[in-house]
Structure 1
Amino acid sequence: MIRTDLLALDTDVLVALANRGLVKRAAKELDAGVVPLVSADEDGTVRARFADDVEAAFPVGAGLDTATCTCPATGVCRHRIGLVLAYQRQTQGEARPEETTEEWSPGSIGDDELRQVLGARTVTAARRRFAAGYPAHLDRGSPPRVDLPACTVRFLVPGELGYAHTDATGPDRGEAIALAVWAFRAADERGLTDRELRLDVGGPSPGSAERTGIEPAVELATELLFAGAMHAGPVLGAALRRMSENVAGQGLHWAAGALDDLAGQLSAYADRGARYEATRYATLLTELHARQRAVAGGGSRSQVLGADVPGRTPLSRIRLVGLGCRIGGTLDDRVADVFFTHAGDGTVLVLRRRWDAERDRGATGHELAGRRVARTTLGALATGNLVSESASRSASRVVHIAAGRIAKTTVTPVGTSWQSLPASVVVEDLAAAGRALADLPPRLIRARVEAEFVRVVRISEVRALGYDPGDQRLEALVVDPAGGTATVSAEYRSECPGALDALAAALGGDRGEPRFVSGALRRDRGTLVIDPVAVLTTDGVTVPDLAPGDGGTDLYAYAGRRPDRLGAALDTALTTLAEIAHRGLRHATPGVHARVEEAAAGLRGVGLATSAALLTAFLAACRTGDPESMAGAWVDAQLRLVTAAELR
């Protein structure tokens, strides 16, 4: 009996299931002639006895983590890897796994096999999560993959459930594998054959308004709209905090996140903090209404509200590749977001640190680069490979490193790791990336995940690098290998005075030939824009926000952007509606209403007749004095304007 599952474990699969060091060590021992005695039982179990009297065994259906070994190592060890490699060499020339072009779907795995491999208790627990419903992002590539809200599952060997791999650990591991199988099965049953697709799996049928679960939160948001941030007071602020906890307790994570951010805005305003923004406050009020309307109209509870998404999932040993760092902050604090991508599946995660002590308020990014984070420095994390056995990730893709087990986390220089990143995070066709962004639902009802569109873009050429002194903005046109283009755009920020100089040097070739740029992708004025966080050149990685300097370098100037009448009209309308939310519908003055009329005229002047009509309808509702009509008309106009601004 030939064990085709063991023969299918090539080097990449073994590295994914274990780590590259173990695979190299096992192969090196075999090359040196330290070969175990390999034998096979009648039932198909393959055994190997090593020179140190250790015996490893692979029963039929077992994977690397469920095979047995008598050595003291916990988890996958070099003996199990050595057994696989020795068996492959011993059977060389015999029957091998047949190459096939037929697509294999994990959905073909039955529940009986799930119970046999994962255990009946695990499958029963997974069924409870299935009944609640969950979103899934499927990729039918090689290997097939499912992105679940809190982890990713890959099926590395066709037809062999024992080699399904996920970064979740503990009880979550088996449940994640079952949920991934059922996601593929649901897609197969619906006849969905696209290479990549998103769908909602299980749960109750999408439904009516009474089942959204956030009606009380929307009612509170409406009350806040009438009161305004100026007059909300501590009672409404406390009610908002309680509502956030209540919604989070229902497992509606995206809705709870909006409530929590809204509470933070009110707190910042009450404290006269710099984090308060009227437009942000207005957008958060709109988001709650948008999510409630989307679900009431038949949208997915799990995708729109974050229903039943695990709050935090512990991860097994993972390797994350640093993509750079973004420094932000206000007069009150400094915040560092370090971006990582999972070396196996390409999921982008964020590690966040905040410093709010008095002495840190004026710290620059370069000064923060030397701060200690996870027993290394912020600068080392931003340009390093992080390997950890004590990490967990939230549903919003924020990664946490457990302080008590920090010794099990190591960081090494990133080197050339960007060149071997998964295709899901590397962009080589900017035109295709732009189309993918255009096809997404509006931001107001998407999942609330960090670094949603942070990618690594391969560069074949840099054109038109220049600085606009008026906007204090550096821009460059980059070209991908397919000939597509995007604009790398970065503004001067006082917390990172040397950032633009460092970015210009990296893109301009002063630090070696630029090969990749990492950053957040977005659409603006019909073009693709990259907000850069790092550049990889032939000389290494440059993280502009952590670079030294005072911004005094002379940069090549250019004329700047053409006037954007459409954007200006939208910005004026959004600012005016935000002022109304800030003051409160009850406290809007005739002067504000006059500015709404002016904003409507501006929208008509650029051809946005429907948006202008919604502003006019809002004014008409205000004249009636009917609270329900006023709130509904304000939300209608806001929804239209926020979405139009996102898509322009």
Structure 2
Amino acid sequence: MSVRTDVAALLARYDEDTWVALANRGLLRRARKDLEQVAVRVAAEDDASVTVAVGDVLVRLGPAGPAGATCTCPSPVICRHVLTAGLWLAGEAAGEGDADEAPPGQASPEQPSQDRAPQEQAQALHTELMTLDAAALTAYAGLAGYRWAHRLLDDADSPPVLTRDRYLTITFPRRGLTARYLGGGLDALVLDQTVPDVARFRVAAVLAWQRAHGLVLAAPPAPRSRSAEPSATSVSRTASRERLRATAAAVLRDTVRVGVSHLSPALHDRLVTSAVWAQGVEYHRLALLLRRIADEVELLLVRSARADDLALLDDVAVAHALVAALDATAGREPAGLLGRARTSYDAVRRLDLVGLGGRPWRTGSGYHGLTCVFWDTTASRVLTWTDARPEGVPGFDPRARWWQPAPWTGLGAPAQAAGRAVVLTQAQASPDGRLSGVESTSASLDDLTGTALLDALPVREVWADLAAHRSTGLLDVVDQASLWTVVRPAAALPAQWDPVEQTLRWPLLDGRGDVLVVEVPWSRLHAHAIARIESLGAGLPAGACVVARVQRVRGRLVGEPLSLVLPDGTLDALHFDPDPEPSAGSALVAGLLAAGTADRPTSPETADGAPGAVPAPVAAVRAVVEQAAQRGCGGTVPGDVHRRLAAAHAAARAVGLAVFVEPDPALDPAESLLRSSYLVQLVERAVG
């Protein structure tokens, strides 16, 4: 086969999405107009390339296709002439172009490969990627690029998503980046975003495909320093991290030694200092947890009704375990333990979203804001946009923000996105699924009619499936965005108000009779949603879905409602939309407002709930830990804490929970209490 035939066969596999990924939709439209208005012909052909004349411009294409094409126009990137030439050759391969007839007596070119069965075609592309070895990939991207590609895959929270159809696609969910392979070698691998050093991303895509099919190429060795001694900067950060771990562990133990019910301002200052220090040495996850603990301690110090010393104890135990894990992996800490800086965003050329509604919230540390939730139909994940301010900032109202101008050009207000298709171009998204409000992002809206909204969402009807998709490890990386889900209840029971917890609970039943309790803690920002759910109660329309944030809290699944998707495909934002059947108003909400009831913290990070059904011996261990930690173990009789913990652990082992081993009597009592608290939380998650 000639080069012309090879290139034409490659281009014939390009579909609309691939052409758009090469440039953009507007440039593709211009190229198609040129194809109708400008004369296109083959100007030259040799063993390495084919040159196509597009009017007065010459475009040279080789086996890599448009990715390696050159054009005589001054454009430094892929231009419309390259697209026009590619479209013309693709049409020629499909029998639609003005291909030259074969000379008399010479056989016509053999049938192009795009006419083969799609499975056969995809298998050939698969074989091409699987035959690329470490030497070829290193030669293409360099040793540093090859090493970077391995690190990208090793540090990913979830593996890339692979599909195989007419061609192969590799999607990196966190980056919103899709690589398409239609043949032609590494240079022909098409990325749908402009990225720095494209070669290393192409190598990462190949490695991802190979790993998914059982081939794991060896990673190159770590780069060696020119000197046998590590750099001063490396030594400094390593030593600083070591000191931080010792300092953080000491302050966490002191919270239990002093007693979580009567902490001091000095301990609060130590927590804040440790959090700042952790951020400085890039222990991002530990810094976030220490900041949350410091905020809770501050609430306890001011005797706030929103303070919870037992929730504080749970967080302290998890932070203590995280410090121990960082200590055990010092110098080779996995990305999941280190965490990521919250300020990092990746550019995404296009996002196809569906607006799922919004919720106002207020944290215990004095911030309030609005969070809007979107479903990414391409990457099958949830993305969120948040606007937040300290409560003291005048002129900011989280509820009013719903109807005020949105951050992106083309979207008048966040409310306009609810229940509609939203296309964002030139967006910025963080690895944990947050959207930036940068002005360079533009939005376009489209209505979803009939069942289009429901068809675009992943609906779950069995609550056991929700439990199966929740992490059971306290130190496992929890993707906060993945907690949002869409459930379709078989029935709903009337909502009940818990006056002790100051929380409205709405039981939703699945077809098996299992119950998912949707909860709304009291807040003036949630008064509208509480009134809506109270009036709705058991009257949820048959076939309606509930969009909720579902997580495991102390051994049980708890949902936080966002909106309803009604059977006719419309979206009802519970926090903002009016009741379709207005009544005289909610007596419950009116009473709470009149009584001046204090708000409960409503941010996603501070949700809590009653303990679920766990074995009695586990509850007994928790009781021992909480009693000792609330009072403080610093002034207890020597050996008393160990004796009580040993008895509680023995009772738990007697019912088969071997994880509760005999406590080490040589350990500091505070250390023993924190270890036992961590074990209790693990078991509650596993069996609750």
TM-score scaled by structure 2? 0.68
Equivalence for 2:235: none
Indicate which of 71, 92, 110 corresponds to 1:90. 92
Q: Which moved more, 1:569-578 or 1:256-265?
A: 569-578
| Cross-structure match for 2:231 | none
Alpha-carbon distance between aligned partners in 2 of 1:429 and 1:80, rounded to the nearest angstrom? 49
Residue 372 of structure 1 and its aligned partner are, at CA, apart by 3.5
Of 403, 407, 414, 1:378 maps to 414
**Equivalent-residue separation in structure 2 for 1:13 and 1:469 (angstroms):** 53
Aligned to 2:178: 154
How far off is 1:374 after superposition? 0.7
**1:221 aligned partner:** 252
CA distance in 2, matches of 1:172, 1:398: 25
- Any residues of structure 2 matched to 1:41-56 within 5 Å, and which? 41-43=45-47, 45=49, 50=54
Query: Which has the greater radius of gyration?
Result: 2
Question: Are the aligned partners of 1:328 and 1:336 in contact in 2 as well (CA < 8 Å)?
Answer: yes
2:315 maps to 1:315: no
Q: Which residue matches 1:61?
A: 64
Contact kept, 8 Å, 1:134 with 1:307, in 2: the verdict is no
Separation (CA, whole Å) in 2 of partners of 1:114 and 1:190: 14
1:400 counterpart (408, 433, 436):
436
Q: Does 1:466 align with 2:493?
A: yes
Say yes or no: does 1:9 pair with 2:14.
Answer: yes
Cα-to-partner distance string for 1:431-463 (whole Å, 9 max, x where unaligned) = 78447426x441x21125331332455x5xx52
In 2, are the aligned partners of 1:5 and 1:157 still within 8 Å (CA)? no
User: Quick one: structure 1 residues 509 and 225, their matched pair in 2 at CA, closer, same or farther if it must change by over 3 Å?
Assistant: closer
Q: Measured at CA, do residues 589 and 432 of structure 1 come closer, stay the same or move farther in structure 2, by a change above 3 Å?
A: same
| Deviations 1:304-342 (CA, angstroms, capped at 9, x unpaired) | 413688962431323151333232215744232222344
Distance 2:388 2:564 in 1: 24
Post-superposition CA distance 1:520-552 (Å, at most 9, x none): 344689997654423334353222223346996
Counterparts of 1:65-464 in structure 2 under 5 Å? 67=69, 80-93=82-95, 94-97=111-114, 98=116, 99-100=118-119, 102=123, 104=126, 108-111=131-134, 113-114=136-137, 119-120=141-142, 123=145, 126=148, 129=151, 136-142=158-164, 143-145=168-170, 147=172, 151-157=175-181, 160-162=185-187, 164=189, 170-171=195-196, 174-185=199-210, 215-216=245-246, 217-228=248-259, 233=264, 235-270=266-301, 276-294=307-325, 301-306=333-338, 312-321=344-353, 322-330=355-363, 332-358=366-392, 365=399, 367-375=400-408, 376-381=412-417, 383=419, 385-389=422-426, 391-393=428-430, 395-402=431-438, 406-413=439-446, 415=448, 419=452, 426-427=458-459, 430=462, 433-434=465-466, 436-437=468-469, 440-442=471-473, 444-456=474-486, 459=488, 462-464=489-491
> Partner residue of 2:573?
543
Between the aligned partners of 2:274 and 2:572, the Cα distance in structure 1 is 43
Per-residue CA deviation, residues 17-64 of structure 1 (Å, 9 max, x unaligned), is: 6566665x369748x94466254743554665556x666554432565
TM-score w.r.t. the length of structure 1 is 0.71
Aligned counterpart in structure 1 of residue 520 of structure 2, from 474, 480, 491 = 491
Instruction: State the AA in 1 paired with 2:684.
Output: A
**Aligned-pair identity (%):** 18
Q: Offset at 1:145?
A: 3.5
Deviates more, 1:444-453 or 1:240-249: 240-249
Change over 3 Å in CA distance of 1:95–1:352 after alignment to 2: same
Q: Which residue of 2 aligns with 1:632?
A: 671
2:599 maps to what in 1?
none
Partner deviation per Cα, 1:129-152 (whole Å, 9 max, x = no partner): 57996655244443554647x525
How far apart are the structure 1 equivalents of 2:630 and 2:221? 38
- Relative to 1, partners in 2 of residues 1:305 and 1:553: Cα closer, same or farther, differing over 3 Å? same
Choose the corresponding residue for 1:520, options 527, 549, 555: 549
- The count of corresponding residues between Structure 1 and Structure 2 is 596
Aligned position for 1:559? none
Is the 8 Å Cα contact of residues 41 and 53 (structure 2) preserved in structure 1? yes
2:11–2:90: 8 Å Cα contact kept in structure 1? yes
Aligned partner letter, 1:284: D
**2:40 aligned with 1:37:** yes
SS for the counterpart of 2:64 is coil
Contact preservation (8 Å) 2:6, 2:63: no
Match of 2:634 in 1: 586
Deviation at 1:95, TM superposition (A): 1.0
For structure 1, the residue ranges without an aligned partner over 5 or more in a row are 193-199, 205-209, 556-561
Return the offset for 1:92. 0.7
Code of the residue aligned with 2:673 in structure 1: it is W
Following the alignment from structure 1 to structure 2, what is the Cα–Cα distance between the partners of residues 646 and 387?
A: 38
SS in 1 for 2:563: strand
* C-alpha distance in structure 2 between counterparts of 1:290 and 1:33, whole Å: 67
Matched residues in 2 for 1:533 and 1:125: separation? 43
Q: Deviations over 1:559-594 (max 9, x none)?
A: xxx99654999778657745754654326799x98x
- Residue of structure 1 equivalent to 2:562: 533
2:72, 2:19 → 1: CA distance?
A: 20
Q: Is the Cα contact below 8 Å between 1:107 and 1:183 reproduced in 2?
A: no
